[in-house]
Amino acid sequence: MKSKPAISIIMPCHNRAYDLCNVLKAYDRQNVSEAFELIAVDDASSDTTYQVLTSFRPSRYTLRVERLAENSGPAAARNLGIQLAKAPLILIVGDDILPDENLLWGHLIAHKQYHDPNIAILGHISWPDDLPVNTLMTHIDGIGAQQFSYHYLQDRQVYDFRHFYTANVSLKKELLDSVDHWFDTDFHYAAFEDAELAYRLSKRGMRIFYLAPLVGYHYHYHNIYTFSKRQRNAGLMANVLTSKHPRLRYLFRAQYLRILKLFRDFKSIYRPYPTELIKQLEDFSLHLGSFYEWNQNEILDQLYLTILDHFYYKGVIEGMAGGSNHEARLSSAHTTRYLLPGLRGFLQEAEKLSLPTPTGYHPAILEKLV
């Protein structure tokens, strides 16, 4: 008779066939004596992710594989995994996170040390040494903190619900069962669904304790194009979060003030520019960001902040005003007030510093929006 697992690992999977086997093998190398299970839920992948999962034979743990009939997002996949979990501890990870060999041991020891059922343990996420890390990836996990805020976190400190990163976080099943539902499936994209659950758990007393030595290595290459898309999705999901929990709008105070200012000003100041012209400017900004992907310079964070901020607010505006007569005006107003001067400011500084610019660059597109 198999012993009951000490910890259940919940891993939603989507289109990760090319690298998933390495992640599964890494759990076979965990330095723990306790039994554990990994519940992998394939979110209707269009590649061979499900076949990779079902063909893998672990030697150190029990692997259970489930598959969703339709692509429903990580919230639905995690919920199914939690429902099937047999252990009193739940560790939620990503399918692109390769665990350090001591990851499970660290989470288990931490929960033995902290008996309080309201304590969640947050581990660290780091880029692995064998993954090329470009300037955008350095930015989003560094000063930009658009992906994770580890750059600003301190080891062995307690943090609020905003840091419930479901790439490497564990909690007791008892705490999860204290709320009436787990991850909210209204969050169709992977953004803020973890914070929303954590907010409800925090009202039950949850605190997040950060342990930097508990490391998972993030095998997810990003460039300005992929992460700008992620930023837009995050903007869309931010609206879902605040619509469900209006009290959280204080966390987005700067966001709402910006939108309110645009609403107040655009009628008298802005005329809506053609969508294709704004698209040209966005394409130029992405081209510019891509040019510096492997060319670090002292003002690059300024450029990345401008571009990623724009695409986040693109999602916010779409979520708030999508389909209304205001969307086009708000979009052009935001582009003119923030993206355009941000790009101009960067290019002016780049010229002063004699930084290279893309071959064939011509400032004419910037002059069309005045």
Tokens for 330, please give them. Answer: 């708000």
Instruction: Going residue by residue through the chain, which has 370 residues, state the pLDDT in tens, using 9 for 90 and above.
Output: 468 999 999 999 999 999 999 999 999 999 999 999 999 999 999 999 999 999 999 999 999 999 999 999 999 999 999 999 999 999 999 999 999 999 999 999 999 999 899 999 999 999 999 999 999 999 999 999 999 999 999 999 999 999 999 999 999 999 999 999 999 999 999 999 999 999 999 999 999 999 999 999 999 999 999 999 999 999 999 999 999 999 888 888 777 778 777 777 666 555 667 778 888 899 999 999 999 999 999 999 999 999 999 999 999 999 988 777 788 888 888 888 899 999 999 999 998 999 998 876 655 566 654 4
Three-state SS for 213?
A: strand
Q: What is the pTM of this model?
A: 0.94
In a domain, 121, yes or no: yes
Residues 255 and 346 in one domain: yes
CATH of the domain at 133: 3.90.550.10
Residues 319 and 278 in one domain: yes
Residues 104 and 117 in one domain: yes
Domain boundary among 222, 243, 258: 222
Q: What is the pLDDT of residue 370?
A: 46
Residues 33 and 143 in one domain: yes
Range of the domain at 162: 7-222
Please state the domain count of the chain: 2
Domain boundary among 198, 222, 246: 222
Burial code of 209-232, b = ≥16 C-beta within 10 A, e = fewer? bbbeebbbbbbbebebeebbebbb
Residues 214 and 298 in one domain: no
Q: What is the pLDDT of residue 322?
A: 78
Q: Which residues contact 277 (CB under 8 A, 6 or more apart)?
A: 368, 369
Q: What is the pLDDT of residue 259?
A: 77
Residues 86 and 182 in one domain: yes
